[in-house]
Amino acid sequence: MTQQKVLADLVSRMEFFTSDSRKAKGPCIFLALKGETFDGHSFVKDLLEKDAQLRAVVGLDFYNSHSSFDFAKRLIPVNDTHVAHRELALEFRKKSKALVIAVGGSAGKTSTKEFLRQILSPHFRMVVTEKSQNGELGIPKTLEGLRPDTQIALIEVGIDRPDDMERHLSIVQPDLGVLTSIGEEHLEQLKDVDTVFREESKLFERTWERGGTCFAPKADSYLARHGSKPRTLLTPENPIDINASWKTNLHHPLALRNAALAAKVADFLGLSGDKIATALSHLELPEGRGRFWTNAKGQLIIADHYNSNPASLRAGYLYLKTLDPKDALYLILGDMLELGPNSGAYHKDLLLEALDLTPQGICLVGPQFAAALSEIRSENEVEVISVPTSLEAKQRLLSWKDKQGNFFFKGSRGMRLENVLELFS
């Protein structure tokens, strides 16, 4: 019998699986994963001795060294527990009666997923991807949350290279598909935006194959191509364009677009307009993805620093243009990573667009923006600071700490702009 069949038979007799020893109890499977700083096998003996209903999937080395123990008959040996993680996730996905919603796209995945969580979770028993755990380890980790009474599984799916989407969807098997945008992402592997579109669109293709419905913003020129396909709903730029009572507390254009996507999915699922309106009125953006607040010094802080690519940075600029032009504007921009061979051109173009906003000051963090700055001679009277790292930026920006105005933070995750943000908290 193959490993997959052995695990499938085990899943048929168990309620859920987990790699978290704190959650392993009752008729469930504990999966012993091993990482650089932890080893789930260290918990197996104690867990099995305490709970007779428990079963454990373990590596061959552990199994061979514990075959004489009383609990050995409740051990299921596998060659690689990380492979088994995905196999168990697939088997529990097939067993589950939950509706599976998969959210993908170049930018806005996590925000859209979180908006869906906020709208739907008061009314459905849900399992939801935590933070941005949307890849090789995160997707099966999300599926660990499936329980017999789960009604909706909301799963974020991220891709870094060709074929990632196919690999992830083989486990997720979506009933509804949501794509937020198509743009420059992971171009070191995906090469160009046309390839991004083809790879991300596999989410729709697999959803259609399963008889499901797909959702995308009609303002995205790539995703709008799917508008003529059956079981595809294109959404407007703002929830109020769907229902006049669906007003939000959001201002960022991409946040509004993502809120419209989430609202349309909720409407499709039959949630009442009043319940959707209530949720939309107090949506919260995830940390680092466009949240804004006024600090004790009266500075407006716009923290959009969790990630960055050309499309999302341009959307941020569009939002900045809606602010009061009398207020001084300060930009803290970190490099946009993984943009491939055209990265230099992207950074130069976006720096020129930043200067067109006529800010009082710009702080550039990273070598890509530094190289772009060296190619530009600005006639604007703008204070421009260029530093290699966020820690150095934090030191250089001590002089900005008490300036009045609006402060916009945007950069790829690897630039660690939260280090600079600490100055303004």
- pLDDT tens figures, 211-229: 999 999 999 999 999 999 9
Percent of the chain with pLDDT over 70: 99
- Give the C-alpha separation, 238 to 261, whole Å: 9
State the pLDDT at residue 379.
61
* CA–CA separation, 155 and 282 (whole Å): 22
- pTM of the complete model beyond 0.85: yes
pLDDT at 268 over 80: yes
Task: Specify whether the CB–CB gap between 277 and 247 falls below 8 A.
Answer: yes
Give the chain's count of helices (H) and strands (E).
16, 16
- Note whether 125 and 179 are within 8 A (CB): no
CB 219 within 8 Å of CB 237? yes
The DSSP bridge partners found for residue 363 are 332, 385
Whole-number pLDDT of residue 380: 62
> For 17-38, how does the pLDDT look when each residue is reduced to its tens digit (9 = 90+)?
999 999 999 999 999 999 888 8
Q: Which residues pair with 152 in a beta bridge?
A: 99, 126
Burial of 52 (0-12, 13-18, 19+ CB in 10 A): exposed
Give the span between the Cα atoms of 271 and 240, in whole angstroms: 16
Q: How far apart are the first and last CA of the chain?
A: 58
Determine the pLDDT at residue 67.
Answer: 85
- Tell me how far apart the alpha carbons of residues 120 and 302 are, in angstroms, rounded to a whole number: 27
Task: Please write the tens of the pLDDT for every residue from 384-416.
Answer: 999 999 999 999 999 999 999 999 999 999 999
Report d(CA 290, CA 311) in Å as an integer: 14
Q: Yes or no: say if 34 and 85 are a contact pair by the CB < 8 Å rule.
A: no
DSSP state of 34: B
Question: What is the per-residue pLDDT across 296-311, written as a single tens digit (0 to 9) for each?
Answer: 999 999 999 999 999 8
What integer pLDDT is reported at residue 68 of this predicted model?
A: 84
pLDDT category of residue 4 using cuts at 50, 70 and 90: confident
Q: What confidence score (pLDDT) does residue 13 get?
A: 94
Q: How many C-alpha atoms does 129 have within 13 Å on its Cβ side?
A: 30
pLDDT at 378: 60
Name the token pair of 343.
């990265």
Looking at residue 132, its pLDDT comes to 84
Least confident of 195-199, 337-341, 376-380: 376-380
Distance in angstroms (rounded) separating the CA atoms of residues 141 and 135? 10
The residues facing 361 across adjacent strands are 330, 383
Of residues 6, 165, 212, the one with CA closest to residue 91: 6
Q: What residue ranges define each of the domains in the chain, with the CATH number in brackets?
A: 3-88 (3.40.1390.10), 96-280 (3.40.1190.10), 291-424 (3.90.190.20)
- Give residue-wise pLDDT tens across range 73-122: 999 999 999 999 999 999 999 999 999 999 999 999 999 999 999 999 99
Q: How far apart are CA 31 and CA 40, in angstroms?
A: 7
Please check whether residue 252 is in contact with residue 109, taking contact to mean a CB–CB distance below 8 angstroms: no
pLDDT at 70 over 90: no
Q: What is the pLDDT of residues 155-196, one digit of tens each?
A: 999 999 999 999 999 999 999 999 999 998 888 888 999 999
Q: Is pLDDT above 70 for 72?
A: yes
